[in-house]
Every structure is written in C-alpha cells, then in structure tokens.
Amino acid sequence: MATTEKVTAVEEITRDLRNSNAAVVTSYTGLSVAQLKQLRRSLGENAQYRVVKNTLTKIAAQEAGISALDEHLKGSTAVAFVTGDPVEAAKGLRDFAKDNPALVIKGGVLDGKALSADEIKKLADLESREVLLAKLAGAMKGKQTQAAQVFQALPSKFVRTAEALRAKQAEQGGAE
C-alpha cells in the first residue's frame, strides 16, 4: 500500500472513530464475502462494518484520542463503527455470531470508555433506546396519575374531616 493510500486510510478511520459513539472490534477469519455482506445488513443503517489494517487503525485511534482499542488489534480485524443506537449494533453482532461462530467479538469502545467482549454482550441484552424511553415515559405517566389522585384526595379528605369536626362540635354543643 502506497504512503498516500495509508494516510488516506488513517484519515478515514480517524474520522469514523470520531463520528461514532461506539466501535466494536471483531475477528472475521473464516467468514465468506457473502457472510460479511449479510453481517453488514444485519447491523442496520447506523453502523458501518469495515475490514481494517491493525497498524493503521492503531494510528487512527491514537489520533482520535482512543487508546482502548490497541489490545484488540491483533490478527484479522474488522471494526463496526456505530453512529446510532449501540444496543442495536451489539444485538446484530451477537445474533450474527450465534449463527456464525467464525465471528469473534474482541472488544470495543462506547463513548470513549473501553468495553470487553462480555460487556458488549451485556449491552446486546439491553432493550433498545426507544423501548427504554417508552418504559420511562409510562412510569412517569403512572407517577403523575398517582400524584393527581393524591392531590384530588387532599381537599375531599379535608372537607370530610372538617365536616366530621363540625358535626362533633354540634353534637357536643347540643349535649351540654
């Protein structure tokens, strides 16, 4: 590879790392071109899967300020650059790896924090961002309903208490 090609490749990888909220490093030895194409489709629109050269990726990671990837850049390496929901991409990689054991998740980085292969698999077990937000909204709506019921109950409870007190005073006043 000529020097200008290497410089261009480093610039592209650096740009991809900076524009991604997550990057997952994998080993793809034993996967066919058709399987790699299928993997790219399974990752969705918000992830780009690229075969990379280790030395160029190490340089690009240093330029992007990411040191967590160095230990994973050995052997045949491809990186999934995730610009969207990292959970969706992690699920895509996990599910593909179940059907194709040749794909090995080595590790990665999420918002600048290093992730082990196990942490990426745990990330894949999470529900998607949309589902979590919907659950949060439902929980908040439920709490608002409970709060409204409490606020509505306070005045009526006050009225009942005041009425009971007035009745008791009238009863005591009439008994004397």
* Closest to 80 in 3D by CA, of 26, 136, 126, 130: 26
Q: What is the mean pLDDT of the chain?
A: 83
Please state, in angstroms and rounded to a whole number, the distance separating the CA atoms of residues 107 and 113. 11
pLDDT at residue 176 tops 60: no
The pLDDT score that the predictor gives to residue 139 is 72
* Number of residues in the chain: 176
Of 37-41, 79-83, 94-98, 160-164, the least confident: 160-164
pLDDT per residue over 159-173, tens digit each? 777 787 888 888 886
pLDDT per residue over 140-154, tens digit each? 776 666 666 666 666
Please state, in angstroms and rounded to a whole number, the distance separating the CA atoms of residues 61 and 114. 12
pTM over 0.75? The answer is: no
Torsion sign, CA atoms 116, 117, 119, 124: positive
Contact 36, 28 (CB under 8 A): yes
Could you tell me which residues are beta bridge partners of residue 104?
27
Residue 123 CA: distances (Å) to CA of 41, 60, 89: 20, 25, 10
The pLDDT score that the predictor gives to residue 43 is 85
pLDDT per residue over 12-28, tens digit each? 999 998 988 889 999 98
The pLDDT score that the predictor gives to residue 12 is 93
The pLDDT score that the predictor gives to residue 24 is 92
pLDDT at residue 89 tops 70: yes
